[in-house]
Structure 1
Amino acid sequence: MNSDSALSALAALAHPTRLNAFRLLVQHEPDGLSTGQLVNASGLSQSTFSTHLAVLAKAGLVTSEKRGRQINQRAEIDTLKGLMLFLAKDCCQGRPELCEPLLAELACC
């Protein structure tokens, strides 16, 4: 992941509605959720939520796939991994022991 991609992903996640939707999709991997389920969970109108979904998709955080008559949304886990690695590599400054507490906390979940 490069700086532009990281900035795009971080900007997309910097809104409560989009962050909540993305977290919900991550929790429902690998199946994802229908757009209707996401709209219901957000409490927003379909058109307002669609705008937020488009921002996530443009940042490469969410993909859509048609399943019958519904459109299913899925989190792009590879983009999430790339963002996390991009941030962790810089924060550790070549010293893995700085990131060990973070990795240990992730392993426990």
Structure 2
Amino acid sequence: MSDDERQTRDDFADAVNMTASELRKWLDTDESKEVGQKSGGSTESTGHQSGRHIVRILEKRQSEYTEADYAHMRKVVGYVARHAKQRPHGDVHDTPWRWSLMNWGNDPEKH
């Protein structure tokens, strides 16, 4: 395993604070399906698609990770870092901002 892969896994573990089962349950909610950008006529947002990929990654052994998995992990780390900086003022519990982060495996209310 390369240092880059190790760093990617560590960064991903820091960014994704939801378990596979928590994320799977969240992705089934109406709130999860409401938020995010949909492209190319898709009915599913980019974040929702990402969440499904994150669940698959979390359910794999590290030895089973593919290059596509590592690429997606890097994408997740970047998205969570950028989006977290846009935190709105006040209570964020029922906000599209939080829901969008949760689609990417990060619940900002979870410590």
State the TM-score, normalizing by the size of structure 1: 0.30
- Structure number with higher relative contact order (C-alpha < 8 Å, ≥ 6 residues apart): 2
State the TM-score, normalizing by the size of structure 2: 0.30
Q: Could you say which structure has the higher helix fraction?
A: 1
Q: Could you say which structure has the higher strand fraction?
A: 1
